[in-house]
């Protein structure tokens, strides 16, 4: 008996079914999501990533930050993300609709960064942390990114962007030199500061689920 048609049909239906489940259903549920215009402040959310920050996203991709950091806050009851202060609410599809490449990540050696711009809004903190994580976060196992800075001789006026005075003694260059972030360093920090999903979309008002019983204290924090 010739089984070829049967094998062909089985493969066809298996592929059609997975395409429907993985592509079509998601396209129907999320594909039509549009930015939400807020009449109170005249802005459409999620906000566009400003130019410098958009360049910083490329640096983030290039340096592989995604290998240690995720960008998605899990809902209450599915982990301790909210109790850890990684977000005020869980991430929803709306948060990502303006992004051509979504950097959800799969590994969390370090904290989730989806809201780092809301939780740590100080440029200097980020520069010191990138220069050497030990300065701000002793014991950190994040590698230093000193190549995002340039040590150079001060010629004329010192740069307003120089950070050496904020560094601990042992990192300071000799007199007459300054440490300034490179363009990549600057845009990376702009990108980090742009990461904040605090806008309350209609669907985020009801996204909290009852915490699982073992989540105990995390639930109370809400
Ligand atoms: C080898 C893993 C690793 C890599 C690669 C890594 N990080 Fe980290 N990161 C960590 C760890 C661990 C922490 C927590 C300790 C600390 O604050 O340094 C952290 C913390 C941070 C924080 C502070 C988060 C907070 O909640 O305070 C920021 C911002 C950050 N990383 C940005 C980056 C960026 C940007 C890159 C890429 C240039 C990067 N990290 C690459 C491991 C990593």
Q: pLDDT (tens digit, 9 = 90+) per residue, 149-191?
A: 999 999 999 999 999 999 999 999 999 999 999 999 999 999 9
Identify the pLDDT of residue 202.
84
Average pLDDT, the chain: 90
132 Cα: distance to centroid of ligand 1 (angstroms): 11
Contact 93, 35 (CB under 8 A): no
Name the residue at shortest CA distance from atom 41 of ligand 1: 65
133 lines ligand 1 (CB under 6 A): yes
67 lines ligand 1 (CB under 6 A): yes
111 Cα: distance to centroid of ligand 1 (angstroms): 7
115 Cα: distance to centroid of ligand 1 (angstroms): 13
Give residue 221's pLDDT band: very low, low, confident or very high (50, 70, 90).
Answer: very low
Nearest C-alpha neighbor of 163 from the set 134, 186, 195: 186
Residues 6+ apart with CB under 8 A from 78: none
Identify the pLDDT of residue 215.
53
Give residue 214's pLDDT band: very low, low, confident or very high (50, 70, 90).
Answer: low
* pLDDT > 70? residue 222: no
184 lines ligand 1 (CB under 6 A): no
* pLDDT > 60? residue 208: no
Q: How far are the Cα atoms of 53, 70, 97 from residue 204, in angstroms, in the given order?
A: 25, 20, 15
Q: What is the spatial distance between Cα 122 and Cα 163, in angstroms, rounded to a whole number?
A: 13
At which residue do the structure tokens 């309350």 appear?
200
192 lines ligand 1 (CB under 6 A): yes
pLDDT, tens digit (0-9, with 9 covering 90-100), for 34-65:
999 999 999 999 999 999 999 999 999 999 99
Identify the pLDDT of residue 212.
55
69 lines ligand 1 (CB under 6 A): yes
Name the residue at shortest CA distance from atom 24 of ligand 1: 111
82 Cα: distance to centroid of ligand 1 (angstroms): 18
């Amino acid at each position: 008996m010739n089984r070829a048609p049967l094998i062909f049909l089985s493969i066809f239906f298996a592929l059609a079914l997975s395409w429907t489940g993985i592509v079509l259903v998601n396209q129907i549920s999320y594909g039509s999501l549009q930015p939400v215009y807020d009449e109170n402040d005249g802005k459409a959310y999620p906000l566009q990533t400003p130019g410098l920050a958009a360049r910083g996203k490329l640096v983030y991709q290039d340096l592989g930050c995604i290998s240690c950091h995720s960008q998605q806050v899990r809902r209450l009851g599915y982990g301790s993300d909210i109790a850890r202060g990684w977000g005020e609410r869980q991430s929803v599809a709306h948060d990502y609709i303006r992004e051509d490449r979504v950097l959800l990540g799969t590994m969390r050696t370090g904290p989730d960064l989806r809201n780092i711009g809301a939780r740590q809004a100080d440029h200097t903190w980020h520069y010191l942390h990138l220069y050497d994580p030990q300065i701000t976060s002793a014991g950190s196992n994040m590698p230093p990114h000193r190549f995002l800075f340039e040590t150079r001789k001060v010629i004329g006026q010192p740069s307003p962007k120089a950070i050496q005075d904020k560094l601990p003694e042992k990192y300071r260059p000799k007199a007459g030199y300054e440490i300034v972030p490179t363009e990549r360093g600057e845009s990376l920090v702009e990108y980090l500061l742009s990461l904040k999903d605090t806008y309350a979309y209609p669907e985020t008002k009801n996204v909290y689920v009852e915490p699982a019983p073992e989540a105990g204290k995390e639930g109370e924090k809400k």
